[in-house]
Structure 1
Amino acid sequence: MKEEQWAPVIVMLMSSVAMGSVNALVKKALDVGVNHMIFAAYRMAISALILVPFSYIWERKTRPRITFMLLCEHFISGLLGASLMQFFFLLGLSYTLPTVAMALSSMLPAITFALALVFRIEIAQNLKSKPGVLKLIGALTSILGAMFLTFYKGPQVSNSHTHPEAIQKNTLHNNGHDQANKWLLGCLYLFTGTVLLSLWMLYQGKLSVKYPCTKYSSTCLMSVFAAFQCAILSLYKSREVEDWIIEDKFVIFVILYAGIVGQAMSTVVTSWSIKLTGAVFVSTFSPVSLVSATLFDFVILQSSLYLGSIIGSVVTITGLNVFLWGKRSENLTTSKSCQMIENEDNIVINDNNTKLPV
């Protein structure tokens, strides 16, 4: 890849690692008992406040005029990529674990790839080429690693730093029939959130072409709509005004961290990368968040580490490398084709110039 082609790879890797840590912390905050949509509303409001100065200073000359259609399109963007997505994703996360949430989110490449084929954003004939096969194998391998990490625990390879009382409480909590139903329901919610995120990526790809050079303004506008949408969706669980008053310092820290890093910075980086490389390419980095969440659980939150987590992480990273290999081959093939066309045009021009006048 050229230097400018490596930039989306680097920033998406950094963003995916950060999102792994965000989801691990959000899970701990939700365990305190905070309304997940109130949490999301605060998160989106902080994202909007952070992005206002950036959008005003850097994009005031390039930002398009605010129209009703522009507001409607960003309302839909907020609905798909923020409010509804977080409604299902955070609800599923409260019933499961960060590693499970990230594992199901690792299906994002396959879902995005399938939806891109349905909406004809990706051409099915490209799958017959070597780069297309590599990209498909890479996406499927990443999903396989994510599923392996989720459903195969394996022997414990490290001692848990969690207190024995917490382990006993967690074991009793997880053995109940009601907890099993919540676990399956949580997985369904997480899958729904992943589908919505895939739709947002494809929608954002079209939106970034329509409104170029406005990544801060677009994300800010999306966050404003999403904050109001999340506030309305919070009525699903609670209608008490007291629930909006959060006094827990850890929850306040997580809200700030999730709003700045997990929403504002991550959405800006993702939108910019989608514009340069496409939704399918960006979605392939979701397995990195799974590995990051696993490591963050072990190193920071002091959870146990199992053999299944290690093997699943290795398989996931391998699949990502295969996908990047296919993307690099596709870029090389495209550049060679463009160069051949330019050479043919130059030959035709030279032949026309060498013809003698009659």
Structure 2
Amino acid sequence: MKEEQWAPVIVMLISSVAMGSVNALVKKALDVGVNHMIFAAYRMAISALILVPFSYIWERKTRPMLTFMLLCEHFISGLLGASLMQFFFLLGLSYTSPTVAMALNSMLPAITFALALIFRIENAQKLKSRAGVLKLIGTLICILGAMFLTFYKGLQVSNPHTHPEAIDNNTLHNNGHDQAKKWLLGCVYLFTGIVLLSLWMLFQGKLSIKYPCTKYSSTCLMSVFAAFQCAILSLYKSREVEDWIIKDKLVMFVILYAGIVGQAMSTVVTSWSIKRTGAVFVSTFSPVCLVSATLCDFLILRSPLYLGSIIGSVVTITGLNVFLWGKRSETDQTVSKTLTVSKSCQMIENKDNITVDDNNTKLPV
């Protein structure tokens, strides 16, 4: 890849690592008992406040005029990519664990790729090419790595310094029918949130063409709409005003961190990368969040590290590299075809010029 092609890869890797740490800390905050949609509303409000000065100072001259249709599309963007997505994802996270949440989130490339094929955003004919096969194999390997991290624990390879409040996920299946049902329901909620996130990525790819100021202005509008949407959805669980008063210092820190890093920075980077490389390419970095969440559990939350986590992380990174290999091959093929067409057009143009010159140099009879 060229330098400009490596830029989306680097920023997505940084963003994915940050998101892994965000989800691990969010799980810790949810365990305190805070309403998950109140948490989301504060998170979106902080994101909007952070992005307002950036969007005004840097994009006030280049920002297109907002129309009613664009406002409606940003409302839908907030609904898909923030409020409804967080409603299901955070609810599922509270029922399960960060590892399971990120493992299911690693299916994002496959879901996005499938939806892109359904909506004809991706060409099915490309699957027959070498690059298409590599992208498909890379996606499947990423899913395999996610399955390792979820269902295979293996031997404990670290010292037994598990956090005292940490819960062994394997015991949840043995706590009766209610716990098993709650665990299954949490997985369904997580999967629903991931499908909504995939739809947002595809929708954002279209919106970025209509409203090119996606770095700050579009994300700010999305955050404003999502903050109100999350506040309304919080009524589902509680209608007490006291629930909006956050007293726990850890929860306040996590809200600030999730709003700045997990929402403002991450959405700006994701939107920019989608515009540069497409939704399918961006979704492939979701397994990196899984690896980051696993490491965060071990280093920050002091959870034990198991052999399955190491194997799953290695398999996930391998799948990501295979996908990037396929993406690079696809880019090289596109560049090669462009150069070939350009040379052909240049040769035809030169031939026409030579013919014209020959006709002009003929002596009159």
Q: Equivalent residues in 2 for 1:74-89 (5 A)?
A: 74-89=74-89
Give the match for residue 146 of structure 1.
146
Task: Establish whether residue 298 from structure 1 lines up as the match of residue 298 from structure 2.
Answer: yes
Q: For residue 112 of structure 1, what is the aligned residue in structure 2? A: 112
Q: What does residue 21 of structure 1 align with?
A: 21
Distance, in Å, in 2 between the alignment partners of 1:201 and 1:17 is 19
Q: Does 1:206 align with 2:179?
A: no
**Could you list the runs of 5+ residues in structure 2 that have no partner in the other structure?**
none
Is the 1:138–1:320 Cα contact (8 Å) retained in structure 2?
Answer: yes
Write the distance in 2 (CA, Å) between the matches of 1:53 and 1:233.
28
User: Between Structure 1 and Structure 2, whose CA radius of gyration is higher?
Assistant: 2
The alignment's TM-score, normalised by the length of structure 2, stands at: 0.95
Q: How many percent of aligned residue pairs carry the same amino acid?
A: 82
Say if 1:161 and 1:205 are closer, same or farther in 2 by CA, change over 3 A: same
Deviation sequence 1:28-81 (CA, Å, 0-9, x none): 000000000000000000000000000000000111112211110000000000
For 1:144-293, what aligned pairs fall within 5 Å after superposition? 144-162=144-162, 166=165, 175-177=174-176, 178-293=178-293
Change (3 A) 1:166 1:75: closer
Given residue 54 of structure 2, which amino acid in structure 1 is its aligned partner? F
Give matches, 1:37-116, under 5 Å: 37-116=37-116
Q: CA deviation at 1:169?
A: 9.3
Q: What per-residue deviation string (whole Å, max 9, x for no partner) do you get for residues 329-353 of structure 1? A: 0000000000000000110011011
Q: State the AA in 2 paired with 1:185.
A: L
Distance 1:150 1:286 in 2: 15
Report if the CA contact (8 A) 2:214-2:268 is conserved: no
Tell me the SS of whatever aligns to 1:220.
helix
2:12 matched residue in structure 1: 12
Task: Give the aligned partner of residue 330 of structure 1.
Answer: 330
TM-score (normalised: structure 1) = 0.97
Give me the whole-angstrom Cα distance separating, in 1, the residues matched to 2:170 and 2:334.
Answer: 54
Equivalent AA in structure 1 for residue 58 of structure 2: W
* Change beyond 3 A, Cα 1:78–1:33: same
| Cα RMSD, aligned residues only | 1.4
Q: Gapped runs of 5+ residues in structure 1? A: none
CA distance in 2, matches of 1:206, 1:271: 11
> C-alpha distance in 1, partners of 2:262/2:199?
19
Secondary structure of the equivalent of 2:216? helix
CA spacing shift, 1:120–1:167, aligned 2, 3 Å: closer
Query: Are residues 167 and 264 of structure 1, via their aligned partners in 2, closer, same or farther at CA, if it must alter by over 3 Å?
Result: closer
Deviations 1:133-153 (A, max 9, x none): 000000010011101110111
* Contact preservation (8 Å) 1:81, 1:200: yes
Q: 1:84 & 1:219 partners in 2: Cα distance?
A: 16
Distance (Å, rounded) in 2 between the aligned partners of 1:326 and 1:47: 34
Q: CA–CA distance in 2 between the matches of 1:186 and 1:116?
A: 26
